[in-house]
Amino acid sequence: RTSRHFLDVYGSRTTPRHQQSSTSAAVSDDPRASTGRRCSVDSFANNGEPSDAARGRESSKPVVVFLTGGAWIIGYKMWGAFLARVLVPHGILVMIPDYRNFPTVTVGDMVLDVDASIQWTLDNCRAYGGDPNRVVVVGQSAGAHLGSCVLLRKAIDELKQFAGRNHPPLSGSSASSLESTIEMPPPLRTKYKARDIKGFMAASGPYNVVAMQDIFHKHGLDRNIVSAMFGNRLDRHSPTHLVEDCSSLQADTRTCTSSLGGEDTDNCSLLSQVLPPFYIVHGTADKTVPYSGAIEYATCLSNAGIR
């Protein structure tokens, strides 16, 4: 077992530099708290005055949750300190979670770590001077992948709830249509909605991990290791496939609504209401994760009605 912090906070106005404050109450009901992660937060206060642009704004700061990369194996929260050094002088509070890595856990557990850190940020950022109504998630490489998985799974959970609220028990073809949706992971346990996040920026991420297997192998990640890392279910943790699941679930919901004589729902408008805006950034010279995957992902998001 390795000792890992829950997350780091940069730009806090309320906690002295390097002071560590316990968050055991926030995660004590989480069984993952005993599997190698120390339930604590390191807070790094702003060393100087905010910039002129930041000075004079309302007291609560906008918040960035930054998810670092590291091929799901060597990621570490301190890699985000450089980004925090750029953003903090502009009056931005930066939260950097320390999700666990493989082989301690699989990608499915990393998704749960990231999800828990977002919930913690929404619940606690105000105590550090942040505004819970202005939280943006930024992910780089593996962090872009994990952030995508979390938000898309949140969307799937909400679409399922929408179907349950608006449709009585079904029978016949309508039931089989809804139940034939691709097998999906269980609902996330956190309470926040995807739209509580005001935006998601994904940089240099792998989004179709099924198609990326050969590329991973070429760069030294053996196919068997990749399969084990993803719990032998790459499709379940592939953002491009999760977008397709969102579209399929929404299409089934619309079909059932029509068959019951209900009012048709615009697929695009519903998905855009469920998810925050997505911003995809990728360098065309990237040789590790080809930018063509980002184009495919952005196209898939657009076709599904996700901005």
**Model pLDDT for residues 54-83, shown as the tens digit of each residue:** 444 458 999 999 999 999 999 999 999 999
Which pTM was predicted? Answer: 0.83
- What percentage of residues in the chain have a pLDDT greater than 70? 71
- Give bridge partners of residue 64 from the DSSP assignment: 94, 136
First to last CA, the chain: 40
The one-letter amino acid code at 234 reads L
Question: How buried is 47 (Cβ within 10 angstroms: 0-12 exposed, 13-18 middle, 19+ buried)?
Answer: exposed
**Which pLDDT score, from 0 to 100, does residue 250 have?**
79
**26-35, 73-82, 183-192: least confident range:** 26-35
**130-134, 172-176, 198-202: least confident range:** 172-176
- What percentage of residues in the chain have a pLDDT greater than 90? 62
In contact, 278 and 301? CB cutoff 8 Å: yes
**Which pLDDT score, from 0 to 100, does residue 14 have?**
60
Of the candidates 239, 241, 212, 240, which has an alpha carbon nearest to the alpha carbon of residue 227? 212
- pLDDT band at 39; cut points 50, 70, 90: very low
For the segment 275-300, what is each residue's pLDDT rounded down to a tens digit? 999 999 999 999 999 999 999 999 99
Question: Both tokens of residue 77?
Answer: 């929260």
